Homo-oligomer: A and B are copies of this chain.
C-alpha cells in the first residue's frame, strides 16, 4: 500500500500546482517513482486517482469545520472557526489551491459531494452562527448574514490563494509570524467591522 500512498501524495502536489488537465498520469507515476500502470491498478483511472486524492485531502478539513461550527453553546464559535480554518490552510498550502480549482471549474469533478459538504457544514452553518450573534447583540443587526459570512470566508481564504504573489503585489515578506499577524488582523477587522 506504500505505492498507493505515494501516488496520492504525488497527485496532490501536482494537481494542486498545475490542475487536473495539465498533469499526465505518467508525470504522477514518475513523481511517485512508480510504474504508470499502478494508477490503473489502484484507482482504475486518472479520474479515480484524482477523486481519491481529493477526498483524502479535503475530508479532514470538512470534518474539522463541522466540529467547530457545530458548537452551538460556544459563543466564540466564529472566532474559533476563523482561527482553525486559517491555520489549517496555512499549514496545508495545497488545500486552497485544490478547493479553488474545484470551485472555479464549471463541471467540477467533485462539485456534488464537496460543495454539498461546504454548504451543510460550512457556509450555511456559519450564516446561522452569525444570525445567532446578531440576536445576542454582538453583531450589528442590519448586516446581511449571508454576505457577512461570505466576507469572512473571503478574508480567510483569499490571502492563501494569493500567497504566490503576496510578496510582489503587496510588498510583504511572507515568513515567520506572518500567519499569526494575518489571523489577528483579519479577526479584528471582521469583528470591528460588524460590531453594533
Contact A118 B193 (CB under 8 A): no
Contact A104 B101 (CB under 8 A): yes
Contact B188 A193 (CB under 8 A): yes
Contact with B along A181-196 (1 / 0, CB 8 A): 1100110111111110
Q: Considering the complex, which residues of chain A in the window 138-162 have a beta carbon less than 8 Å from any beta carbon of chain B?
A: 143-144, 146-151, 153-155, 157-159, 161-162
Contact A150 B123 (CB under 8 A): no
Contact A104 B161 (CB under 8 A): yes
Q: A104 to chain B: closest CB distance in Å? A: 6
Contact A186 B119 (CB under 8 A): no
Stretch of A3-11, A33-41, A56-64, A167-175 contacting B (4+ beta carbons < 8 Å) = A167-175
Partner of A157, one of B122, B124, B149, B158: B158
Q: A23 to chain B: closest CB distance in Å? A: 8
Tell me if A70 is interfacial: C-beta within 8 Å of chain B.
no
Q: A57 to chain B: closest CB distance in Å? A: 16
Contact B104 A164 (CB under 8 A): yes
Contact B158 A154 (CB under 8 A): yes
Whether A105 contacts B18 in the complex (CB less than 8 A), given A148-B185, A165-B115, A189-B194, comes out as yes
